[in-house]
Chains A and B, each alone.
Chain A
Amino acid sequence: MPLPELLITSPTEGLLYEDDIAPTFDGQGFTATWKSKALAPRSIDLPKQWRHFFVWVNQGDGQLIAELQLEEGLQRIISSFDLTAVAPSRYGTATYGDSVYSPPSALIRLERSLPREAVSRILEIYLEVRVPDTASAWPIKIIANELTYRALPNIRLRGGNQ
């Protein structure tokens, strides 16, 4: 039997774990979070009527939540998008909500309208991607494929007039 490449030991129990071979931590789900650079309107010339976000995320084979969080002073407006609930975009045919593998070209388009009065006072914008539980699949790949890499940015956060 091949030896485990890497064992990790518990700091509290007489237990060892074989590392990097499972989708979970000892059978337990875990949350993975990635939070982008913050954008401040002061440094970006936002259109006055700007009130629309589009985020393109290349679908992986798990369930994702992309979150836009807008700060207005101390008050936060959080817009969450459960990717499992978003209809497939025109770019792909992946089935969401299942642990099926989606084609690398599949993209999800997230669209969120914001109230005009809120948008005019946005202080901070960032993109946050969370994988709340990886029990369904592993690894989960977000936002990447050759097409994206060659021709498209991996993530695009856009504001626009409509």
Chain B
Amino acid sequence: MIQTELLRIAGFRGINVRASKFLIPDSAAQEIVNFVFSEEGVLTTIGGHTRWNATSLGPGKIQGGVWFRKTGAPPELIIAHQGKLYKGDPDFKTFTEIYTGLDTEALVEMLPYRDLLYIVNGVDRPLKWDGSNVTLMGLDAPTTAPTATDSGVAGNLNGTYSWKVTFVSPTHESHGSPASNTLTVTNKQVNLSNIPVSSDPQVIKRRIYRTLAGGTVYKFVGEINDNTTTTFTDNVADSSLGVDIPVDKDPPPRGAFLEVFKNRLWMSGVAGQPNRLFFSEYFEPEAWPLHYYVDLPLAQGDRITGLKTLGDVLVVYSRRQPVIVLGETPFDFVVRRTFAHVGPETHRSIIRIENTHLFFSQYGIYAFDGATARLLSDDISPIIRDIPQETLKNVAAVYYEKKKQARFAVHLPQHRASTTDRFNNSELIYDLRTGSWSISTKSIQHYIDSRDILAQ
């Protein structure tokens, strides 16, 4: 019997729908759904998944989530759903509500830094979780001034003075209040009244600052160790005054995503400020001076879509280009253009794999090395081209190190259950070992990996 070999598949490679189905390499395939190539030469069905929390939190997408471990405490899963924040117990796989009042639609980004978890959604005021309470990120300064009066009691103050008050939380101190009335006394103690009280539950004390006699700089006088007392007696001599009153302690803007770079938090995605990159004070993630920002020279209609460090630089992505931020301080931060001319659709679609970022753009999936972007998804470009524009805002990605896969959750029209569905219903999976693509039919809003927690 004469036999003619027609097709030899020496190992499996990925989908190739860009070229004619007759012309693609023998090892490529016209279609690969729910198969992966975790073992060379083997078609392996993709791993399935089982429900983690037995009881649903209700209808609606999970808006965001992250593993968080405070030093000395067990890990917690913090998630956002329907405008609420929940703490998940990894042993019992149950959730406890810890906050309510967030927007019910906006995606929620969370970033652990310096033992706190910072939470932003681009709509509401940024929050933080300290392992016990969710509170505002930063503090509003008092808006009313204290009143100073001569006590009539002999004391150490001699001259003309005014006072200010700050609010203090366990992690931060606000700006000063408006100045009190100016008071001239001769060797007297001074009574302060109408000391402002904060409505913010994280405020645990207030601090009193005063000028030197005839001076203009406010210096530390003393503390009130509660958030209820509204009177204080000042009998501190000028020579015993402490540090200057804090300045540049403004609360953060309402950004949509965060990144840590050079011991500062960086934020973008603020409504109405599509090209503005904000950054915090050095080692003070809750202090966002109003003049600490950079306006990027973006093209018309473009906007910042993501932030991610790469080596010693911060990459600021817009939909049309990545730029890099170099430097150490606000005085020498500089923005440099790169040779790439494409950027991600969403912050969540950027993943870092060693010294490279992979990201999803409407033109394909690219690898960016800090200078140039290389298209990885040429073989599946018709599939990406068919992804509806209105679904791109939901694209999410993860690097699944266990299997060396970059996974992108997307909406593919061919996997819709109904014509009105627009949520993520598929994954584009890139096998880094073989450089090949496959597809899964998993519906995924967001990935939450525990690699950073495990590494602790």
Contact = CB atoms under 8 A, between A and B. Distances in A.
B66 to A, nearest CB: 10
Given A15-B51, A161-B2, A32 B45 contact: yes
8 contacts: A6-B449, A38-B21, A43-B22, A125-B6, A140-B43, A140-B45, A156-B5, A158-B4
Nearest to B448: A7
Contacts, number: 265
B81 interface: yes
B441 A30 contact: yes
Interface stretch (A17-25, A75-83, A85-93, A113-121): A17-25
B215 interface: no
Q: Which of A10, A13, A36: most chain B CB closer than 10 A?
A: A10
Interface string B1-23: 11111111111100000000110
A8 interface: yes
Interface of B: 1-12, 21-22, 24-26, 28-35, 39-53, 56-62, 65, 67, 75, 77, 79, 81-82, 88, 90-91, 394, 398, 400, 402-403, 409, 423-425, 441-451, 453-454
A14 B11 CA distance: 40
Contacts of A35: 29-32
A30 B443 CA distance: 13
A94 interface: no
B10 A154 contact: yes
A25 B49 CA distance: 5
Contacts of A15: 51-53, 56-57, 62
A12 B423 contact: yes
A62 B5 CA distance: 27
Interface residues of A, number: 73
Contacts of B454: 3, 5
Contact of B57 (A14, A43, A47, A144): A14
Nearest to B16: A37
The 8 closest A-B pairs by CB, nearest first: A14-B57, A20-B47, A9-B62, A11-B423, A32-B34, A160-B3, A144-B42, A11-B445
B31 A5 contact: no
Contacts of B445: 8-11
Contacts of A1: 90-91
B57 A154 contact: no
Contacts of B409: 8
Interface in A114-162: 124-129, 131, 134, 138-145, 148-149, 153-162
B75 A3 contact: yes
Contact of B65 (A9, A23, A34): A9
A159 B4 contact: yes
B438 to A, nearest CB: 9
A34 to B, nearest CB: 5
Contact of A131 (B30, B42, B45): B45
A9 B448 contact: yes
Contacts of A144: 39-43
B61 A12 contact: yes
Contact of A11 (B10, B26, B47, B444): B444
A8 B446 contact: yes
A13 B45 CA distance: 25
A16 B22 contact: no
A39 B7 contact: yes
Nearest to B25: A37
A20 B33 contact: no
A149 B41 contact: yes
Contacts of A65: none
A145 to B, nearest CB: 8
A150 to B, nearest CB: 10
Nearest to B400: A6
Given A15-B57, A38-B30, 8 more contacts: A21-B47, A34-B33, A126-B30, A141-B43, A143-B42, A154-B8, A159-B6, A161-B1
A117 B409 CA distance: 46
B402 A20 contact: yes
Given A8-B444, A14-B56, A15-B53, A33 B32 contact: yes
A115 B403 CA distance: 45
A33 B33 contact: yes
A8 B49 contact: yes
Given A33-B33, A38-B21, A8 B442 contact: yes
A34 B7 contact: no
A157 B6 contact: yes
A9 B9 CA distance: 36
A11 B6 contact: no
Given A12-B61, A35-B29, A129 B1 contact: no
Contact of B1 (A10, A22, A160): A160
Contacts of A10: 61-62, 443-445
